Amino acid sequence: MTTAPAGTRRGRGRATVIGYVRVSTEDQAENGISLAEQRTRIKAYCAAHGLELARIASDNGRSGKATANRPGLLRALEELDDAEAEGLVVCKLDRLSRTTTDILGLVERANRDGWQLHSIHEHLDTTTAAGRFVVGILSLLAQMEREQTAERTRSALAELRRQGKRISGRPPFGYRFEGDDVIPEPEEQRILARILELRAAGLGARRIAKALNDTGTRNPRTLRWWTHGTVGDILRTAGASQQETT
């Protein structure tokens, strides 16, 4: 897959790109996908397409379900944000994420910020009508994914309530417990909305934490500055937590 925005970052002939490889424990056990094989394919692709490969970032033993816990990918995205490279090359889209929403967010981020995204396996180009059609399909799949997650969450919570069980021992960020009720906490809700807004704009947990700290916003629960780990935890639970109030 190749995204190519209308404008280019630099006026030189060969685009400088960063390769990204990832393998999880499940990949190694089930599919035999190795980091070395991915690196070889990326190098060959760059040579064939006239791309200057600056380096290859990697995340070994990392799941594809969440981008917030992958330092290799986050560092590569920061370098793209800083215009240290003009594109990102992966062997397959699932190396970036197994979540359609995350993949679509990265595609939109590439188009918005003016860098290229190459996915070797899919052979897609979003500058073409066919490529834009695929991005549209990704959008629909992401919407369906969100709705299915919400449905599963509501069903699970309804069953726990039917059994008379407490949902959790600690309220999710943005809420507090009053008896058996989950009540929005105004100050945390404001921060939660900002975190989700920054995530929707394509920022990772590390950059979200920096943005909050830069505005002097501390974690109201601990009164400490934000870390990418804390933000990552909130991002992973925010969707299900919001459903608990329905």
Reduce the DSSP state of residue 16 to 3 states and report it: strand
Bridge-based pairing state of the strands 181-184 and 116-119: unpaired
The question of whether 24 is a catalytic residue gets the answer yes
Annotated active-site positions, please?
Answer: 24
